[in-house]
Chain A
Amino acid sequence: VKKVLQIALGIVTSVGGFLEVGSISTAAQAGAVFRFRLLWAVALSSILIMFLLEMSGRLAAVSRHTLAGAVRERFGIHFQVVPLAAEVLVDMLVLGAEIGGVCIALQLLTGVGYRWWALPVALAVWLLLWKGSFGVIENGVALLGLVTVCFVVGAWRVRPPLREAAAGLLPGLPADRSAQYGFLAVSIVGATLSPYLLNFYASGAVEDKWNRTYLGVNRVTAVLGMAFGGVISAGVLALSAVILNPRGVQVDDYGR
């Protein structure tokens, strides 16, 4: 029972970690410009992250090391400093985008300009990291990510054309704007394969004292969690394709 509960919680938290502001904005952009034609990129990146997450969880369960810890121990700090620096840079950009997203949401709610919210939001994040336990961050905050299920409900309600959506699962170059198409495809994959997610997941496995008996839990959590996240990402794309594309609304601005 404990393991079943862990799987359920793992899936929920994986979804929270999977669908951050980068995934939402790239999927929305793709749907607004190319309708369902970039659905394959969402499917491909979901499969890739499934494998990566399963491997980082397996490494943590067998070696009791996080991904970063294992690299440092095996290759030394001089080797690790390069990928670590790159990851810190990427994580800073993701954090900046996340804080920006919260600020825009607060601006929409209150009418107070988003720039005024940057420092209070950053302070709240700092306090959460300082005072909150890993469990609070992993479960509490990630559970809030479940709000993104509204995208799937929304996509279901607007009844997307299923034949066109299914055709979008096969890659193909559009007649025009092929550079933008390629750029968005790379952006979708890049936004999904966030390095922080792998470290976050492996850290959770180490904190929860996973061992070899958890390899099955790890596999189910990684596959179902990422598949669930991929479905939500596809929901964002479908909503954007059905609602924004026919009206010619582009999603190229935070304010939109």
Chain B
Amino acid sequence: MHPSAAVRTLVLAAGMVLAAACASPRQRLQESLDSAASWAATAEMAAAGYAGNSAPRPILRTLVRTTREALAREQETTAAAGEATDRRVGAAAQAIASALADVDDLAAAVEGRDRGRAAAVAERLRARADALRALAQAGR
């Protein structure tokens, strides 16, 4: 292969990789909604497991911490997207904030060994996950 042809191929390949790596704000919002819905559903499953006495506390503690970090990350991504990008941003931010509050409530329920409270949180988290999934579906 001629050197200039090789350089052209390399530049083209690098450009394609760069284009694939740089998602648009709307794509990022979509991915963020999918991820937030999934994390809310994960927390709901864990809360229901704890309420049903089938998930031990160390696992819940770890999961609550991971979920909180993930939801906070998605909250930032959603806020960065801005209302101008997509009409769903406001509703998404609200749903993620509510899910974060529920996860904090779950943490308190786990520390207080309150399985009844965990069951109530599971119900709320299910609603949050459904709402976030509906928002994600609306963008497809």
Contact = CB atoms under 8 A, between A and B. Distances in A.
A249 B38 contact: yes
B58 A110 contact: yes
A147 interface: no
Given A247-B129, A250-B35, A255-B66, A111 B61 contact: yes
Interface string A220-256: 0000000000000000000000010001111011011
B104 interface: no
B63 interface: yes
Given A109-B58, A111-B58, A248-B129, A255 B63 contact: yes
26 contacts: A107-B62, A108-B58, A108-B62, A109-B58, A109-B59, A110-B58, A111-B62, A176-B140, A243-B45, A247-B41, A247-B44, A247-B45, A247-B129, A248-B129, A248-B133, A249-B38, A249-B41, A249-B45, A250-B34, A252-B35, A252-B38, A253-B66, A255-B62, A255-B63, A255-B70, A256-B42
Interface string A107-131: 1111100000000000000000000
A85 B41 CA distance: 42
Interface in A124-182: 176
A109 B59 CA distance: 6
Contacts of B34: 250
Given A109-B58, A110-B58, A248 B37 contact: yes
Given A255-B63, A255-B66, A248 B38 contact: yes
Interface string B58-85: 1101110010001000000000000000
A39 B39 CA distance: 25
A256 B64 CA distance: 11
Nearest to B44: A247
Contacts of B129: 247-248
Nearest to A32: B38
The number of chain B residues touching the other chain, given as a range, is 10 to 19
A251 B133 CA distance: 16
Contacts of B58: 108-111
B72 to A, nearest CB: 14
A248 to B, nearest CB: 5
The number of chain A residues touching the other chain, given as a range, is 10 to 19
Contacts of A243: 45
Contacts of A110: 58
Nearest to A109: B58
Contact of B38 (A109, A111, A176, A250): A250
A248 B41 contact: yes
Interface in B71-106: none
Contacts of B44: 247
Contacts of A107: 62
A248 B34 CA distance: 9
For B41, B44, B62, the residue with the greatest tally of chain A CB atoms inside 10 Å of its CB is B62
Nearest to B137: A248
Nearest to B35: A250
A255 B46 CA distance: 13
For A243, A247, A256, the residue with the greatest tally of chain B CB atoms inside 10 Å of its CB is A247
Contact of A253 (B59, B61, B62, B70): B70
Interface in B36-56: 37-38, 41-42, 44-45
